[in-house]
Structure 1
């Protein structure tokens, strides 16, 4: 166990959960991609699995690498990367690959032709990490000033969030809302005064209402239409089949690889992977997956107890809250509680960009826990020396 702790430094629980999620991802993606394999790869399901496994391994390697960087270094890195994030979002708006009436990805085929003609990445996934890190830095810098003033909060926190979230919202409203909610929660735990938070929420609600009105008037929101007419709209077959998969899973499931609804579900390996988890592993498997995300949240809350108001605590909280909320949204869609959003299940669904960015997020959180563990060890050694004297 000492060798384990020397190699995999940081919170042991987070390491274990990440590995379990990665294993679940490999099993479920392999089962869920049979249709994709037939359609795009001549039925070679092993090739699809190996391609996904490359991203899983890359995510775990980056997770390990990120955990070895002292978390305080990330403060300046995020400050610089914020401008990179804005450039990426603008490039996506101008040159992004269109899918489902939205531009959410940038093609890599011209830059990296060896990756194939369909190679692309989702800038939003990187931007989420960057904005959370940037806002965590801004909040932490104000921890000694209980009332920095409206101008300071507006220029350094509110405007950056509104600008980035606004750019994302034009193409991906659910991600924008998710990221905005995360930033609001970070402001709250960072002890920003409630009057600023409520003002911020009020402004955002006005912008959101205006945005939704424009979307409805232009008739470009298929998802809102689906939610409004969820019973009669034929576009709801994704949710219907997802619920059917969950309903037929029972307590213990149909066993790995025995899913029948995967052949009917569109994007099953991305948006509806949780339905496959429950269908093949039953209610037990579904509860286990849900519990894994709750364990992650609990471990990070323990960080906040040890390091209240610090950059590391706020950063860890923001990253894990975004991941857990996204997971709950995905599960909520699968069980029919929420409209279709396009949010995948972090570290489980197929998708290279999401897998890698979630791995990096886990690594950053582990970096914070590694620092806490080292400080705890030093404190214990000091207490032992003092007790001996």
Structure 2
């Protein structure tokens, strides 16, 4: 039954206040994720000797259904409710991320995963990203509203960032640290901090990148492979580029791709290459357009917003969403050094897809039309 504008129920108010265009774009991406895992996952499962060819596909259907429920449920909250949930989520994710350094499963020299009863494998740092973006936005808004007395809030947000950076560096997960830092610096810039401070922080970030190159051998290897071709280009990138070339404009057809049979992580980090081979350039451009639409639409919604907390929170979440999509697609196309990062909603992954849904739920809640701010319960 259609919801009337006169419907004052929670669901009715949500339907007429949420950005339905953004919601539709996100659900379309989730549907594409279902299609692409259906296309790529069986070949991967068979290659690694999984108990069933449909193992990854069945799991991803469960993940996507859970993600859709999380996104819808979180989008019902008020900005104040979002702040509270983000604070709890940040505290829990930070503790669990720190726990990976002690009891985490080591994979390829890094400790990023926890094996938990009932839950299974969990990458808690994925949940740090959206939760920290909202917490940082709240503290920055508090600091700006306090004027010269806001030094305590600034000190707190910088301290929290330092804690997150330290934990991610120790895992190590330099790619995740890069995304968190880029989003954090974006929020600082949007907050209107003195340009000298912004330039100084930018210099600090650049120094960190240079330091990562010299301190972490896997970072140096990937950068050298990208810039100089040392040791030959990455096998995965070679196969991915071959897949894009084979797909051409229209693709070879759903399920007809061959590169997924030999491409490691074809269902996860390199799912965009499977899209390119089986569905062609046009569908790749459509996916790119969907990500662009979500980011631009979100920023447009903020033009009429006056609450700094909402502006900073939504800006950080949009920067995070867009940057993660860019990193995945650009590394698949060999435009940047390879980085194991999923394509939001399209790649296989439990922790990743649920965390992204949480972040987009935050975004939908923050950008809802609030005709009655006292009823909606804003931050202040």
Q: Secondary structure at the match of 2:299?
A: helix
CA distance in 2, matches of 1:306, 1:241: 46
Match of 1:90 among 88, 98, 101: 98
Q: Secondary structure at the match of 1:51?
A: helix
2:8 paired with 1:18 = no
Alpha-carbon displacement from aligned partner over 1:44-80 (angstroms, at most 9, x marks no partner): 3334322110000000011111011112222234334
2:342 paired with 1:334 = no
Greater alpha carbon shift after TM alignment, 6-15 vs 23-32 = 6-15
Distance 1:80 1:47, change over 3 A: closer
| Residue number in structure 2 paired with 1:136 | 137
Aligned counterparts, 1:291-370, within 5 A? 291-370=289-368
Greater alpha carbon shift after TM alignment, 70-79 vs 361-370 = 70-79
Please state how far the C-alpha of 1:278 moved relative to its aligned partner. 1.5
Match of 2:269 among 263, 268, 271: 271
CA contact (8 A) 2:105 2:112 kept: yes
Aligned counterparts, 1:111-190, within 5 A? 111-112=117-118, 119-145=120-146, 151-152=151-152, 155-170=155-170, 171-190=172-191
2:71 paired with 1:73 = no
CA contact (8 A) 1:62 1:356 kept: yes
| Residue number in structure 2 paired with 1:56 | 64
| Residue number in structure 1 paired with 2:242 | 244
User: TM-score, normalising length from structure 1?
Assistant: 0.86
- Runs (5+) with no aligned partner, structure 1: 379-389
| Residue number in structure 1 paired with 2:222 | 223
CA contact (8 A) 1:168 1:176 kept: yes
Distance 1:221 1:91, change over 3 A: farther
Match of 1:262 among 240, 260, 263: 260
User: TM-score, normalising length from structure 2?
Assistant: 0.88
Alpha-carbon displacement from aligned partner over 1:360-382 (angstroms, at most 9, x marks no partner): 11111111233x25459x9xxxx
CA distance in 1, matches of 2:251, 2:147: 52
CA contact (8 A) 1:316 1:365 kept: yes
CA contact (8 A) 1:253 1:283 kept: yes
Alpha-carbon displacement from aligned partner over 1:146-185 (angstroms, at most 9, x marks no partner): 6667x54751232321321232133111111111011111
| Residue number in structure 2 paired with 1:36 | 44
CA distance in 2, matches of 1:145, 1:194: 20
Greater alpha carbon shift after TM alignment, 297-306 vs 308-317 = 308-317
| Residue number in structure 1 paired with 2:107 | 99
CA distance in 2, matches of 1:235, 1:169: 26
CA contact (8 A) 2:291 2:325 kept: yes
CA distance in 1, matches of 2:366, 2:154: 28
CA distance in 2, matches of 1:23, 1:351: 15
Please state how far the C-alpha of 1:34 moved relative to its aligned partner. 2.4
Q: Secondary structure at the match of 1:142?
A: helix
Distance 1:154 1:313, change over 3 A: closer
CA contact (8 A) 1:136 1:186 kept: yes
Please state how far the C-alpha of 1:140 moved relative to its aligned partner. 1.4
CA distance in 2, matches of 1:13, 1:321: 18
Q: Number of residues paired by the alignment?
A: 365
- Runs (5+) with no aligned partner, structure 2: 5-10, 376-380
Please state how far the C-alpha of 1:190 moved relative to its aligned partner. 1.8
CA contact (8 A) 2:44 2:266 kept: no
Alpha-carbon displacement from aligned partner over 1:166-225 (angstroms, at most 9, x marks no partner): 321331111111110111111111222222222223333334433432224xx7854345
